[in-house]
């Protein structure tokens, strides 16, 4: 996308996923969201002297599932390290994480290589409270340790992404994949899914990586795409001005949609990693691995194949449905409804088309775009029946669009709406002939031009017929009749 000619974008993602376990990574405090500050703490997650961590078994199981879902190799033996740095949200002065021997490595998802997947603990939350009027009138922050110690899985990709849109789509696929595993809420707004990006540009075809910058805090997929696009834009400008891109970290500001460089931390970082002596190695047993494999549901990539090969849905549509969990669910329920109604003649491909096309478009117009079809007034069953009516030529495509709009508005039964609005397709050939004749008489010169071999001239006549029939007539029948009448 916005890269100077002859340059290509090189993008890698670093994703943190909060696991939806019941307790924290290393202590028995319950996980929570939006509770009173510091009501879910204990000597361990507050790092009181003498306290020790003990690994949460479910967190390990969830991490194994993620590793397997991303096609990773699971390490037969992995250990935890201490990552040392001082910050109020890091109560031990080190974060327990995995370093040179992570739980899983060398995976791939939809063609993007996954470098590593490892377990670690989340930091606490800090709230900046501004001027406190105390110490030199300086501002202060409040630390809430409820979130501190939440199990995190960090997923790092290879720099295989080539533009902002692709990065967004891949991140959404990853979200769907993890959501389907049921191991996390993966909610970006609530921070249970966090996505950082490493962005650089380099001469196309060049193997060498350019200097990369780090983008943080893009708390929605739209912001992720915008942030990366903005940064590529910035790097392009730098390079075109003959400058050099500097190693920097940027913070994305959702309000302004702009990137601000993070104040380079007081001192250079030196994390002084070393093996965590309070924990013993993880060595997944055959049984642990079997359990994790058995827990894997159908994943988006597999879904796409099934939609294509078994349901005959075109590739692009199948991908769209499979990679958007909610859309996929809706589609499957509609197909099921059709089957239950014994409407075997309603092809899944047609339903897929209506779901990804017309329905999605109407919902976006009505503003429910983000909410998605699942929570709309249009029941999958209603949509299935509507598509069935189109297939059975009981309503024209145009009329069906009107019905769908009505469904989006107030829900209900498509058949009734067709009745009420009198949108049923005209079956009486005689009635239609009469209308066609009247339309021809009303526009003699258009009729003349058609007779003298100008097919385009038929437009106005068809239009008139359609207006008269309020779209209840089948376009094909109308043109056929006009040609017959004009002998052309």
Owner of token pair 């029948």? 477
Site for another protein in 318-357 (CB under 8 A): none
Q: What does the per-residue mask of binding to another protein show for 120-149, with x meaning CB under 8 A?
A: ------xxxx--x--xx-xxxxxxxx----
Question: Judged by CB under 8 A, does residue 88 bind another protein?
Answer: yes
Q: How far apart are CA 123 and CA 71, in angstroms?
A: 28
Of Zn ion, another protein, Mg ion, none, which one does residue 112 interact with (CB within 5 to 8 Å by kind)?
A: none
Closest CA to 156 of 187, 201, 195, 129: 195
DSSP string, 311-337: H---HHHHHHHHHSHHHHHHHHHHHHH
Q: What does the per-residue mask of binding to Mg ion show for 23-52, with x meaning CB under 5 A?
A: ------------------------------
Site for Mg ion in 128-157 (CB under 5 A): 154
Q: How far apart are CA 53 and CA 450, in angstroms?
A: 85
- What are the φ/ψ torsions at residue 231 (nearest 5 degrees)? -70, -40
Q: Which is nearer to another protein, 278 or 365 (CB)?
A: 278
Question: Judged by CB under 5 A, does residue 164 bind Zn ion?
Answer: no
Q: Which is nearer to Zn ion, 30 or 129 (CB)?
A: 30
Q: How far apart are CA 291 and CA 74, in angstroms?
A: 14
Q: How far apart are CA 58 and CA 60, in angstroms?
A: 5
The 81-84 sheet, strands edge to edge: 94-97, 81-84, 274-275
Of another protein, Zn ion, Mg ion, none, which one does residue 144 interact with (CB within 5 to 8 Å by kind)?
A: another protein
Question: Judged by CB under 8 A, does residue 34 bind another protein?
Answer: no
Q: Closest distance between another protein and the C-beta of residue 153, in Å?
A: 15
Helices 380-391 and 325-340: crossing angle in degrees, nearest 10, is 60
Piece of 17-25, 245-253, 323-331, 369-377 that binds another protein (CB under 8 A): 17-25
Site for Mg ion in 152-211 (CB under 5 A): 154
Q: How far apart are CA 198 and CA 192, in angstroms?
A: 20
Site for another protein in 242-281 (CB under 8 A): 263, 266-267, 270, 272-275, 277-281
Q: Which is nearer to another protein, 43 or 411 (CB)?
A: 43
Tokens of 329: 């669910």
Question: Judged by CB under 8 A, does residue 20 bind another protein?
Answer: no
Strand partners, 252: 259
Piece of 7-15, 29-37, 273-281, 436-444 that binds Zn ion (CB under 5 A): 29-37
Question: Judged by CB under 5 A, does residue 29 bind Zn ion?
Answer: yes
Binding footprint of Mg ion on the chain (CB under 5 A) = 154
């Amino acid at each position: 996308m916005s890269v100077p000619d002859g340059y290509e974008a090189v993008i890698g993602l670093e994703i943190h996923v909060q696991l939806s376990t019941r307790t924290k990574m290393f202590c028995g405090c319950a996980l929570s969201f939006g509770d009173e500050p510091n009501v879910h703490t204990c000597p361990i997650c507050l790092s009181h002297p003498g306290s020790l961590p003990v690994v949460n078994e479910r967190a390990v199981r969830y991490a194994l599932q993620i590793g397997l879902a991303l096609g990773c190799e699971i390490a037969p033996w992995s250990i935890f390290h201490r990552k040392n740095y001082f910050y109020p949200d890091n109560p031990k002065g080190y974060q327990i994480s995995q370093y040179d021997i992570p739980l899983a490595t060398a995976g791939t998802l939809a063609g993007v290589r996954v470098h590593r997947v490892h377990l670690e603990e989340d930091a606490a939350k800090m709230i900046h409270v501004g001027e406190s009027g105390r110490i030199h009138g300086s501002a202060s922050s409040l630390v809430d340790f409820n979130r501190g110690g939440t199990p995190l899985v960090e997923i790092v990709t290879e720099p295989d992404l080539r533009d902002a849109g692709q990065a967004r789509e891949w991140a959404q696929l990853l979200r769907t994949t993890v959501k389907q595993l049921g191991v996390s809420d993966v909610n970006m707004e609530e921070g249970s899914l966090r996505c950082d990006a490493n962005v650089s540009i380099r001469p196309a075809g060049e193997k060498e990586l350019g200097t990369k910058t780090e983008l943080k805090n893009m708390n929605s997929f739209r912001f992720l795409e915008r942030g990366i696009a903005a940064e590529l834009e910035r790097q392009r400008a730098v390079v075109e001005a003959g400058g050099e891109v500097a190693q920097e970290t940027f913070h994305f500001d959702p309000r302004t949609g702009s990137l601000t460089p993070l104040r380079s931390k007081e001192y250079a970082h030196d994390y002084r990693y070393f093996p965590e002596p309070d924990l013993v190695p993880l060595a997944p047993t055959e049984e642990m691995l079997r359990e994790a494999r058995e827990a894997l549901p159908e994943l988006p990539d597999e879904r796409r194949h099934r939609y294509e090969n078994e349901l005959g849905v075109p590739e692009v549509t199948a991908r769209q449905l499979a990679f958007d969990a909610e859309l996929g669910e809706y589609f499957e329920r509609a197909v099921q409804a059709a089957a239950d109604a014994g409407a075997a003649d309603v092809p899944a491909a047609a339903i897929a088309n209506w779901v990804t096309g017309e329905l999605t478009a109407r919902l976006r117009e009505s503003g429910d775009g983000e909410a998605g079809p699942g929570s709309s007034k249009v029941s999958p069953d209603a949509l299935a029946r509507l598509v069935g009516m189109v297939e059975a030529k009981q309503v024209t495509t145009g009329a069906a669009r009107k019905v769908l709009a009505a469904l989006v508005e107030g829900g209900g039964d498509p058949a009734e709406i067709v009745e009420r609005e009198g949108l049923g397709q005209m079956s009486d050939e005689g009635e239609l002939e009469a209308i066609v004749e009247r339309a021809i008489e009303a526009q003699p010169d258009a009729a003349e031009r058609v007779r003298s071999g100008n097919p385009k001239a038929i437009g106005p006549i068809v239009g008139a017929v359609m207006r008269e029939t309020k779209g209840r007539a089948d376009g094909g029948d109308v043109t056929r009749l006009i040609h017959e009448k004009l002998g052309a």
